[in-house]
A and B are shown apart, each in its own frame.
Chain A
Amino acid sequence: MENFPLVLIISSIVKILIIVHLLLIGVMIMIWAERRVSGWMQDRLGPNRVGPQGLLQPVADGLKFLFKEDLIPDHVDKPLYVMAPAMLLVPALVAVAVVPFGSAITVFGHEIPLQIADINIGILYILAITSLGVYGVVLGAWASNNKYSLLGGLRSSAQMISYELTLGLGIIGILMLTSSLSLRTIAVEQGAYPWQWNFLIHFPAFLAFTTAMFAETNRLPFDLAEAEQELVAGYHTEYSSMKFAMFFMAEYMNMIVGSAVTVTLFLGGWHFFGLENMGGPVWSGLISFGIFFVKTAIFLFVFIWVRWTLPRFRYDQLMNFGWKFLLPVALTSIVVTGILWITTNSRLIVGIGNVVSAFIVVSIVASLLVMKTPKPAIQDSDNRLTPSALDAIE
């Protein structure tokens, strides 16, 4: 017990180094995968010249970014312009600290959990840190002093606030059944078999959470902050070289962290039947890490898949969808989960009740919307504040 702090410190430092580098390598692989998978989905090749299968393309891109001139336009607000990319990148890096990557490995008689820090408010920490990512976007947009960037930033801030609610409400059902905020406990509570994982018990909440996460990471179909056709490139129009690369990396890092969190919360963490208890004390830990890695990779593939499946939302559609569909579904899921769990204490009934109630809510909302829309409403929908106030200024 005497040398425990030393072991803790050394193992923490090693874990931090490994995780950060895995993240950075993961970003590189994701950039390559995104382009290759996109190519595959559109029946073309994608980058395949640099290295085997084009695997070194991200390295080449990175080198190009490094050697490019670090241009700071004259009209920008310099301190904020320089700070913004870092403010997007740092939360993405820091959030990963509480994600459990695997069970535990035993080295030299010490059991080392595969997680940087198991704090008792883990999921709140994730929510808190990821909610800070918006500052990078908003401040970068504002500091660019450019009309398109500003519009991108405005859209992004409104979108983030709206979808953060769903993100938070979506996990409350899980917290009620697990009665813990620690991500490790949540992962441990889920069994080895897919039907014991949370996504089946809380299926509507899972869908709402995932959708909100797509919105939080600014991915298509929610990338209104950088809608190329309307806003050039939105908040990063004025950025070039390494600063742009940082925005780019932050987006992919957010995707990876988001996938890892989803896997932990809903997809059983590092559990998979038949695999996790193979091998000795060291190997089982590494295998659990492998299972987690594969699950995260599959979820990341879904990110790319969705990108080429769904077109971008219009701004009012985005707001309507967030407030009128996702939020009611997430709220109902909380109420139904609570009531059914207390009365029946059965996960099966909670799961069925959740799906049924979500169906009812969605059909009620949809029929209300249909009843309301017949008269061709010229008055623009719920985003009144933005365009009208902008009109007032100009």
Chain B
Amino acid sequence: MSLEYYLVLSALLFTTGVIGVLIRRNAIIIFMCIELMLNAANLAFVAISRSLGEATGQVFVFFVMTVAAAEVAIGLAIIVSVFKHRQTINVDEVNSLKG
């Protein structure tokens, strides 16, 4: 399997994530789509790391996962508190900065 196939798959997954962010209005699903995009990047990292024959790409995946975990913790906390205040997590309805 050459590198291109993995990169194409990674690009397709990333695009799916982008489309999801654009068309969905549920904050949690938007969040999941962001995770999907991060994962697509991970796939590209690992594929390139394999074809270069060194582990650096996989170290980067490690960092991406850490950031993703931190982001999920913060993001879900924000979603929960937004929901408590406004009883919705539709991003179109949560459009004003005043609490």
Contacts and interface: CB of A to CB of B under 8 A. Distances in A.
5 tightest A-B CB contacts, nearest first: A392-B84, A389-B80, A389-B84, A385-B80, A392-B83
Contacts of A385: 80
Nearest to B81: A389
Interface string A116-133: 000000000000000000
Interface size bracket, B side: under 10
Nearest to B77: A385
Interface string A348-390: 0000000000000000000000000000000000000100010
Nearest to B80: A389
Contacts of B83: 392
A131 to B, nearest CB: 14
A392 B83 CA distance: 9
A385 B81 CA distance: 10
A389 B80 CA distance: 8
Interface of A: 385, 389, 392
5 contacts: A385-B80, A389-B80, A389-B84, A392-B83, A392-B84
Nearest to A391: B84
B40 to A, nearest CB: 21
A53 B83 CA distance: 57
A385 B73 CA distance: 13
Nearest to B85: A392
Interface string B60-80: 000000000000000000001
Interface in B79-98: 80, 83-84
Contacts of A389: 80, 84
Contacts of B80: 385, 389
A385 B80 CA distance: 9
A392 B85 CA distance: 9
A104 B73 CA distance: 46
B32 to A, nearest CB: 15
Nearest to A385: B80
Contacts of A392: 83-84
Interface in B18-52: none
Nearest to A388: B84
B28 to A, nearest CB: 14
B61 to A, nearest CB: 15
B83 to A, nearest CB: 8
A104 B84 CA distance: 59
A389 B84 CA distance: 7
A385 B84 CA distance: 11
A60 to B, nearest CB: 46
A120 to B, nearest CB: 14
A116 B82 CA distance: 49
A151 to B, nearest CB: 17
Contacts of B84: 389, 392
B78 to A, nearest CB: 13
A117 B83 CA distance: 47
A86 to B, nearest CB: 23
A385 B83 CA distance: 13
A392 B80 CA distance: 11
A77 B59 CA distance: 41
A389 B83 CA distance: 9
B80 to A, nearest CB: 7
B33 to A, nearest CB: 21
B11 to A, nearest CB: 27
B85 to A, nearest CB: 9
A169 to B, nearest CB: 16
Nearest to A392: B84
B73 to A, nearest CB: 11
A197 B67 CA distance: 37
A110 B77 CA distance: 57
A38 B84 CA distance: 46
A112 to B, nearest CB: 32
A392 B84 CA distance: 7
B99 to A, nearest CB: 15
